[in-house]
Amino acid sequence: MKIFIFLLLLFTTHVEARDYFVATNGKDRNDGSIKRPFASLAKLVAVAQPGDSCYIRGGVYRETLELGAGGSEGAPITFQAYGNESVILFGADPLPTRLPWAKWKDGIWACNVNDELHSQLTRNDAMLFVGDQPLIEARWPNCKLEENWKETRKWASKNHELSTYGELVSWDVAESGLDFTGGVLHQKYVANFFASRRILSHGKGEDRIFYEKIGGFGDPDSETAEKGTGGFSDWFYITGTLSALDAEGEWFYDPSIKKLYLKPPANQHPRKLALGVKARAVGISGKNTEWVDLKNISVLGCSLRLGSMPPISGRGGQLCRNLNLSGIKVHWAAHSRYFHIPDGASTRTMHYSGRDELYPILIGENCLIDTCEFGHSPYHGLYVQGRGMRIRNCVVHNTSLNGRMNMSGLAVLYGYQSAYKSSASNTVTETTIYNSGGAGLYLLGPGAQIAERNHVFNGGLYSGDISGIYIPYAAKSLNSAIAYNWVHSIRGIGMRCDAMGRKIKVNNNVVWNTYSGCKWESAGGAEDTFTIYNNTIFVEDAMHPILLSETKPEGDLLNRRDLITENWTVLNNVSYGLKYRYWFTFWKEVKSAGLPTAYFFNQDESDRFQANYSLAGEDANRYFISTDLENIDLRPCSGSPLIGNGIAVEGVDPSACADIGAYQSGAAYWYPGADWMPGGESPPKTMKEAVALAWETLGDRRTFLTKNRGKH
- The stretch 403-419 carries a mean pLDDT of 88
Is the backbone peptide bond immediately before 311 cis, with ω within 30 degrees of 0?
A: no
**Average predicted confidence (pLDDT) for the chain:** 91
Percent of the chain with pLDDT over 90: 80
φ/ψ of 89, rounded to 5, equals -95, 110
User: Angle at the Cα of 524 (from 520 to 529), degrees rounded to 5?
Assistant: 60
Burial 373-387 (b: 16+ CB within 10 A, else e): bbbbbbbbbbbbbbb
pLDDT (0 to 100) of residue 344:
46
Helices and strands of the chain, counted as H and E runs: 8, 56
DSSP 3-state percent helix, strand, coil across the chain (nearest 5)? 15, 35, 50
- Which pLDDT tens digit goes with each residue over 420-474? 899 999 999 999 999 999 999 999 988 899 999 999 999 999 998 899 999 987 5
- The stretch 312-337 carries a mean pLDDT of 87
Taking 60 as the threshold, does the pLDDT of residue 637 lie above it?
A: yes
- The stretch 290-313 carries a mean pLDDT of 89
CB atoms within 10 A of CB 578: 24
What residue ranges do the domains of the chain occupy? 94-278
Confidence of residue 193 (pLDDT cuts 50, 70, 90): confident
β partners of residue 550: 522
Residues in the chain: 712
Q: Can you give the pTM of this predicted structure? A: 0.94
List CB contacts of 16: < 8 A, sequence separation 6 or more. Answer: none
- Which pLDDT tens digit goes with each residue over 486-509? 999 999 999 999 888 899 999 999
Do the beta carbons of residue 413 and residue 449 sit within 8 Å? no
What single-letter DSSP state applies at residue 213? -
- The stretch 93-109 carries a mean pLDDT of 95
CB atoms within 10 A of CB 390: 18
The CA–CA distances, whole Å, from 178 to 103, 185, 203, 245 equal 22, 14, 8, 11
Going by C-alpha positions, the residue among 485, 426, 436 that lies closest to residue 462 is 436
- The stretch 181-186 carries a mean pLDDT of 97
The CA–CA distances, whole Å, from 332 to 82, 202, 689 equal 24, 32, 28
User: Angle at the Cα of 387 (from 382 to 389), degrees rounded to 5?
Assistant: 45
pLDDT (0 to 100) of residue 517:
95
Taking 90 as the threshold, does the pLDDT of residue 578 lie above it?
A: yes
pLDDT (0 to 100) of residue 97:
87
DSSP codes, 361-397 = EEEEES-EEES-EEEEESS-SEEEEEES-EEES-EEE
500: alpha, beta or left, given left = phi > 0 and alpha = psi -120 to 50? Answer: left
Do the beta carbons of residue 514 and residue 492 sit within 8 Å? yes
Taking 80 as the threshold, does the pLDDT of residue 230 lie above it?
A: no
Do the beta carbons of residue 102 and residue 269 sit within 8 Å? no
Percent of the chain with pLDDT over 70: 92
- The stretch 589-618 carries a mean pLDDT of 94
Taking 70 as the threshold, does the pLDDT of residue 202 lie above it?
A: yes
pLDDT (0 to 100) of residue 11:
43
HSE-up (13 A, CA, CB side) for residue 18: 12
Going by C-alpha positions, the residue among 16, 17, 63 that lies closest to residue 38 is 63
Confidence of residue 227 (pLDDT cuts 50, 70, 90): low
Q: How far apart are CA 530 and CA 499, in angstroms?
A: 12
- Which pLDDT tens digit goes with each residue over 67-95? 999 999 999 999 999 999 999 999 999 99
List CB contacts of 150: < 8 A, sequence separation 6 or more. Answer: 143, 699, 700
Taking 50 as the threshold, does the pLDDT of residue 688 lie above it?
A: yes
Alpha-helical (H) ranges within 22-111 are: 41-47
* Beta strand pairing call for 128-130 and 275-278: antiparallel
- The stretch 662-682 carries a mean pLDDT of 95
pLDDT (0 to 100) of residue 590:
93
Confidence of residue 12 (pLDDT cuts 50, 70, 90): very low
Taking 90 as the threshold, does the pLDDT of residue 346 lie above it?
A: no
List CB contacts of 488: < 8 A, sequence separation 6 or more. Answer: 456, 457, 468, 494, 510, 511, 512, 513, 514, 687, 690, 691, 694
Which residue would you say has higher pLDDT here, 227 or 421? Answer: 421
pLDDT (0 to 100) of residue 315:
63
pLDDT (0 to 100) of residue 670:
97
Confidence of residue 477 (pLDDT cuts 50, 70, 90): confident
Taking 80 as the threshold, does the pLDDT of residue 310 lie above it?
A: no
- Which pLDDT tens digit goes with each residue over 241-300? 999 999 999 999 999 999 999 999 988 999 999 999 999 999 999 999 999 999 999 999
Q: How far apart are CA 232 and CA 236, in angstroms?
A: 12
Q: How far apart are CA 269 and CA 272, in angstroms?
A: 6
Taking 50 as the threshold, does the pLDDT of residue 44 lie above it?
A: yes
